[in-house]
Chain A
Amino acid sequence: QKEVEQNSGPLSVPEGAIASLNCTYSDRGSQSFFWYRQYSGKSPELIMSIYSNGDKEDGRFTAQLNKASQYVSLLIRDSQPSDSATYLCAMESGYSTLTFGKGTMLLVSP
């Protein structure tokens, strides 16, 4: 069964710090990976997608992919209280469907 594992948290960081969110996956054949942010009671919002090994940067966000280790991470620089949310990691799991992790809650304290 294809799985995505995330630590449920909460991960607590002070404002201005770097938040590091991690995810491991079971399907070595997966090619595409995604990070979503979800505020409580709201819908998931796509932050980043990554397909190649290495880093991909977009503003304060950097996604990192290591296919050999089956590991995906999301770094948030200069964390803000507004970044407090649950972050969902997802992998493409065949036929254009996604398998989601259960999410990591991030708390950024002022």
Chain B
Amino acid sequence: DADVTQTPRNRITKTGKRIMLECSQTKGHDRMYWYRQDPGLGLRLIYYSFDVKDINKGEISDGYSVSRQAQAKFSLSLESAIPNQTALYFCATSDLTGYENEQFFGPGTRLTVL
């Protein structure tokens, strides 16, 4: 089984709809991250969480919210989707040990907002 899973893998929705993307991990990592990737813009950090009680905004948090339901689960919500939120979304996890902060990515969710 994959260590980091994301659901759904593909989603098409309409402008104004609320949508939730879910991420689960079995790696036992404390830290979880949400990124979006757009052609020509690279990976950009949306939100990150170091434990269930810790939520932090990233570079591009406007229009998004998150929930850390458990150590293993981190969800990203778009309250009212708009077309420029069409992108590839990735969840990642990491476990800080010494100097290491290697992040491991889920398979991604391709989101299209019409």
Q: A residues near B, CB below 8 A?
A: 31-32, 34, 41-46, 49, 51, 88, 92, 95-98, 100-103
Tell me the total A-B contact number using a CB cutoff of 8 A: 50
Q: Give the nearest-CB partner of B48 in chain A.
A: A97
Q: Which residues of A contact B108 (CB under 8 A)?
A: 42-43
| 6 closest Cβ pairs, A-B complex | A102-B42, A43-B105, A100-B43, A51-B99, A96-B101, A44-B105
Q: Give the nearest-CB partner of A45 in chain B.
A: B105
Q: Interface range on chain B: under 10, 10 to 19, 20 to 34, or 35 or more?
A: 20 to 34
Q: Which residues of B contact A103 (CB under 8 A)?
A: 42
Q: Which residues of A contact B43 (CB under 8 A)?
A: 44, 88, 100
CB distance from B32 to the nearest CB of A (A): 11
Q: Which residues of A contact B68 (CB under 8 A)?
A: none
Which residues of B55-114 have CB atoms within 8 Å of chain A's CB atoms? 56, 58, 88, 90, 94, 96, 99-108
21 A-B residue pairings within 8 Å (CB atoms): A34-B103, A42-B108, A43-B105, A44-B43, A44-B90, A46-B104, A49-B100, A51-B99, A88-B43, A92-B101, A95-B48, A96-B31, A96-B50, A96-B94, A97-B48, A100-B43, A100-B44, A101-B42, A102-B40, A102-B41, A103-B42
Q: Which residues of A contact B88 (CB under 8 A)?
A: 41
CB distance from A8 to the nearest CB of B (A): 8
Complex: A51 Cα to B99 Cα, angstroms: 8
CB distance from B94 to the nearest CB of A (A): 7
CB distance from A20 to the nearest CB of B (A): 20
Contact present for A100 and B42 (CB under 8 Å) = yes
Contact present for B42 and A97 (CB under 8 Å) = no
Q: Which residues of B contact A46 (CB under 8 A)?
A: 102-104
